[in-house]
Every structure is written in structure tokens, then in C-alpha cells.
């Protein structure tokens, strides 16, 4: 058993830390204030290879594995969760195409995504449901050599920036109308982005409602086998959850560092508040929860690098790390007192950002169901 990062991993981590301080932190407040997609930052992240970290160089990737992926996301999220989340969300379509795409689909769609030349969305959720896949209503009707997709998708992040989207729809060709996954070019006639949603935190992901009004998609854009879309979604989201866990670790670590600084600077009764036992308790709790989240996340990334399925492990990592991030940012707010509640304080933003980790890519309740189902199945 070895808990040390290798030389290459340390290098990836250090470079991401420098990138976060140089290119992310200076624009973090601005991204939050404007609530617009950070095109310039995304371009810079793409140019240093942050959109293809786990994928092999022959598909435009950096070959840094999933450990490299979580290390970078964590470091970027110290400065702004938006930066790490853009990587995580973009990797949903990448992962789906990498695992299930044909060689032609990988050449055509994965390479530009991994190189950061294009950005992708992943459209599963609908107005009526995010948690219940059987309730999705978007339909795909075969028509000659094409499919015609009709429906609406809710909260599709990165929409203003994405050239391709992996879209899930009930396949009318399948006898029982199971869900299929399609690679859709967002420039296709009938693919429309409407109703940008203003969010409480992580402002910059720009989720919107996508209207699919009879969007014609060539049959060669079907991803994997017909009717296997739900399995593809689960597999891709297992890596998305790993990213969310890393986002939670990054936000938690960011909140801890702000709190350590503040506790040593701020005085009460003539001494730094860091001398107070109540503040020490908070700092110790925060550090312990972030560290536990980190190792659960790294272990899950390690397993993925070994080629394992991480459905249970990524649910555990996301469940634990997201709860920790929400608790840690709440404690950090307490360390900061009333100043923490002010709009120009970083901790105010981290407090809002942390909550998303408990909600997207499956709410915590769904993670508990997934974990318990695996535990029971393992017992036979
Ligand atoms: C900023 C942001 C970005 C997003 N980006 C995307 C994206 O890019 N693509 C995409 O497809 N989706 C995206 N989503 C949607 C997100 O993944 C879903 O909203 C999420 O999975 C929850 O679905 P829901 O809101 O429909 O909750 P619901 O399914 O309506 O659940 C509501 C509540 O009911 C309870 N509940 C539901 N089911 C169960 C159950 N089985 N057991 C116990 N309790 C349960 C839980 O308390 C849950 O919080 C995004 C959301 C946000 C906020």
C-alpha cells in the first residue's frame, strides 16, 4: 500500500496549483458576479490539456489517468468551483464516447473535445425528472438512415459553449422503448437553447433548457447499442461523480485555508481567534473531513485507473465529500463571523458553491440507494 503521489502526479498537481493561482483566482469573483460562461478561461484550460487528462494521447488526451484528473480538478476548485466543474461536466460526453463510441466517433468527436478545441454537454435531466430515468419523455423516431429526436432537456450545463451534446431519448425502434444515447451536434436545425437558469452558486456553468424540435441525427451518431443508453449514462456519470467528489475536496480545502488565514489574523480580546478552543475545534473538524474526502476520492480514481467499474465507489466518494464540503464551508463561515457573510468575501461564494455537489449528477439520496443496492448485491 502506497499513499504517496508519484513524481509525475506531483508535477501535474503543482502545475494545476500554479494555473489556479495565476489564471483562475483572479477571475473567480468576476465569473460569479456575471454568471456567464468563462470562454477565455475555458480556452486557456483547453490549451494546457485540462479537457483530456485521463484519455490516451491517440485520442487527444494527456494520458494523466483519473488520478491526474482529480488532482487538477481539486486544485482548480481551490480558486473557483466553476473551473473544475467545467472539466467534470465536459468529461461526461468524453467518457461516454471513449467507452462506447465507435472508432469513427472517437476520431470525429472525442479528439476535438480532449484537445479542448470543442466543448460538450450531457443532456439527461428533464423538467419532470432528474432522478427517475423511466420518466424521461424525449423520443427518438427512426426515419430512413436517421433518427428524429423530439423533447426538452432541463439544466443542460455548458450549453452556450458546447458544439456537441450527448442526448438521451426513448428509442422507438426498441421494442420496449428503452433509452438510447445520441451524439448531437448543437448546430443541428431544431436544437435550441432557451431559458438560461440563474443559479445560486457555481455561477458560470450556464445550465439552460434545450428544446429538441425534430432534430435529425444520422444513425451513425447512435452511441453504443440501441436501448443501452441508461447503462451508458450510469457509466459516464460514475466518472462525473468522481469529478464532483474532487470539486468538493477542492472547495473544502479552499474554505479551510481561508479559515486558517482568517483565524490567525482576526483578533478577539487582544489575541488571534485561532487561540480560542472553539475555533480550533472547527479547524480540526474541517481538516479531518477534507482529508477523509480526499482519500476516498483518490482511491476511487486509482481504481478507475486500474480499469475497474466505480459505480459504488464514486457514489460513496460523492456522497461523503459533498456532505463534507457543505459542512466545512458552513464551519468556515462561522470562523469568519459576520465578515464571512459579506458579498466581497471568498468564503461567501464557496458556501454557495458547495451545495451544488449534493445535488447534481444525482442527489445524495440517490447515491445512498446506489451504495446500499451494491452492498446487498455483493452479499448475494
Ligand atoms: C447547476 C446544475 C447543473 C446541472 N447540469 C446538468 C447537466 O448538464 N445535464 C443534466 O442532464 N442534468 C443536469 N443537472 C440536473 C441534475 O443532475 C438533477 O437536477 C439532479 O439529478 C436531481 O434531479 P431533480 O432535480 O429532478 O430531483 P428530483 O428527482 O425531483 O428529486 C427531488 C428530491 O426528491 C428526493 N428523491 C428523489 N428520488 C428519490 C429516491 N429514489 N429516493 C429518495 N429520495 C428521492 C430527493 O430528496 C431529491 O433531492 C444540473 C443541475 C444543476 C442544479
pLDDT of residue 349: 98
Cα of 125 vs centre of ligand 1, distance in Å, is 8
Q: Does 207 contact ligand 1 (Cβ within 6 A)?
A: yes
Give the residue, out of 96, 129, 131, with the most ligand 1 atoms within 8 A of its beta carbon, to mutate for a pocket test.
131
CATH number at residue 151: 2.40.110.10
Tell me, yes or no, whether 306 and 365 share the same domain.
yes
Tell me, yes or no, whether 219 and 242 share the same domain.
no
Tell me, yes or no, whether 108 and 134 share the same domain.
no
pLDDT tens for each residue of 217-228: 999 999 999 999
Tell me, yes or no, whether 60 and 24 share the same domain.
yes
How far from 330 is each of 117, 154, 308, 343, CA to CA, in Å? 38, 29, 35, 15
Q: Does 262 contact ligand 1 (Cβ within 6 A)?
A: no
Q: Does 155 contact ligand 1 (Cβ within 6 A)?
A: yes
In a domain, 1, yes or no: no
Give the residue, out of 123, 359, 361, 364, with the most ligand 1 atoms within 8 A of its beta carbon, to mutate for a pocket test.
359
Tell me, yes or no, whether 94 and 128 share the same domain.
no
User: pTM, whole model, 2 decimals?
Assistant: 0.98
Q: Does 90 contact ligand 1 (Cβ within 6 A)?
A: no
Tell me, yes or no, whether 299 and 186 share the same domain.
no
Tell me, yes or no, whether 192 and 245 share the same domain.
no
pLDDT above 70 covers what percent of the chain? 100
Domain residues for the domain of 183 are 121-228
Cα of 170 vs centre of ligand 1, distance in Å, is 19
**At a CB cut-off of 8 Å and minimum separation 6, what does 137 contact?**
126, 128, 151, 170
Cα of 130 vs centre of ligand 1, distance in Å, is 4
> 119 and 162 in contact (C-beta within 8 Å)?
yes
> 275 and 127 in contact (C-beta within 8 Å)?
no
Q: Does 359 contact ligand 1 (Cβ within 6 A)?
A: yes
Tell me, yes or no, whether 58 and 178 share the same domain.
no
How many domains does one find in the chain? Answer: 3
In a domain, 43, yes or no: yes
pLDDT tens for each residue of 113-126: 999 999 999 999 99
CATH number at residue 34: 1.10.540.10
pLDDT confidence band for 282 (50 / 70 / 90): very high
Q: For the chain, what is the total number of helices (H) and then of strands (E)? A: 12, 10
Give the residue, out of 32, 123, 130, with the most ligand 1 atoms within 8 A of its beta carbon, to mutate for a pocket test.
130
In a domain, 2, yes or no: no
Q: Does 365 contact ligand 1 (Cβ within 6 A)?
A: yes
pLDDT tens for each residue of 25-72: 999 999 999 999 999 999 999 999 999 999 999 999 999 999 999 999
Closest to 95 (Cα-Cα) out of 136, 39, 87, 133: 87
pLDDT of residue 333: 98
Q: Of 44, 74, 126, 361, which is the active-site residue?
A: 361
Q: State how far the Cα of 148 lies from the Cα of 159, in Å rounded to an integer.
A: 21
Known catalytic membership, residue 361 = yes
pLDDT tens for each residue of 96-105: 999 999 999 9
The pLDDT of 259-266, averaged and rounded, is: 98
Q: Does the pLDDT of residue 343 top 80, yes or no?
A: yes
Tell me, yes or no, whether 217 and 278 share the same domain.
no
pLDDT of residue 133: 77
Q: Does 123 contact ligand 1 (Cβ within 6 A)?
A: yes
Amino acid at each position: 500500500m502506497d499513499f504517496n503521489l508519484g513524481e509525475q502526479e506531483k508535477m501535474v498537481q503543482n502545475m494545476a496549483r500554479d494555473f489556479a493561482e495565476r489564471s483562475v483566482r483572479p477571475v473567480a469573483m468576476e465569473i460569479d458576479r456575471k454568471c456567464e460562461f468563462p470562454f477565455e478561461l475555458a480556452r486557456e484550460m483547453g490549451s494546457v490539456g485540462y479537457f483530456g487528462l485521463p484519455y490516451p494521447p491517440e485520442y487527444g488526451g494527456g494520458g494523466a489517468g483519473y488520478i491526474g484528473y482529480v488532482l487538477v480538478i481539486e486544485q482548480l476548485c481551490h480558486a473557483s468551483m466553476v473551473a473544475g466543474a467545467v472539466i467534470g461536466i465536459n468529461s461526461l460526453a468524453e467518457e461516454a464516447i471513449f467507452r462506447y463510441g465507435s472508432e469513427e466517433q472517437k476520431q470525429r468527436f472525442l479528439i476535438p473535445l480532449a484537445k479542448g478545441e470543442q466543448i460538450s454537454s450531457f443532456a439527461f435531466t428533464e423538467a419532470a425528472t432528474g432522478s427517475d430515468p423511466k420518466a424521461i419523455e424525449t423520443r427518438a423516431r427512426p426515419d430512413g438512415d436517421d433518427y428524429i429526436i423530439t423533447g426538452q432537456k432541463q439544466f443542460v450545463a455548458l450549453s452556450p459553449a458546447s458544439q456537441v451534446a450527448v442526448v438521451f431519448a426513448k428509442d422507438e425502434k426498441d421494442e420496449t422503448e428503452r433509452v438510447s444515447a445520441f451524439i448531437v451536434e448543437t448546430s443541428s436545425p431544431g436544437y435550441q437553447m432557451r431559458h438560461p437558469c440563474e443559479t445560486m452558486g457555481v455561477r458560470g456553468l450556464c445550465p439552460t433548457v434545450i428544446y429538441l424540435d425534430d432534430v435529425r441525427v444520422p444513425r451513425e451518431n447512435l452511441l453504443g447499442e440501441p436501448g443501452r443508453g441508461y447503462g451508458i449514462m450510469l457509466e459516464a456519470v460514475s466518472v462525473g461523480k468522481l469529478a464532483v467528489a474532487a470539486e468538493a475536496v477542492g472547495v473544502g480545502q479552499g474554505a479551510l485555508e481561508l479559515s486558517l488565514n482568517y483565524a490567525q489574523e482576526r483578533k478577539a480580546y487582544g489575541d488571534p481567534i485561532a487561540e480560542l478552543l472553539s475555533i480550533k475545534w472547527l479547524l480540526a473538524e474541517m481538516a479531518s473531513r477534507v482529508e477523509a474526502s480526499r482519500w476516498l476520492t483518490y482511491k476511487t480514481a486509482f481504481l478507475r485507473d486500474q480499469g475497474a467499474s466505480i459505480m459504488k465507489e464514486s457514489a460513496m466518494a460523492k456522497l461523503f465529500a459533498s456532505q463534507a464540503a457543505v459542512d466545512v464551508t458552513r464551519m468556515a463561515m462561522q470562523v469568519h463571523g459576520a465578515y464571512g457573510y459579506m458579498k466581497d468575501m471568498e468564503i461567501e461564494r464557496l458556501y454557495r458553491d458547495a451545495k451544488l455537489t449534493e445535488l447534481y449528477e444525482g442527489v445524495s439520496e440517490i447515491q445512498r440507494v446506489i451504495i446500499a443496492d451494491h452492498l446487498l448485491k455483493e452479499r448475494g
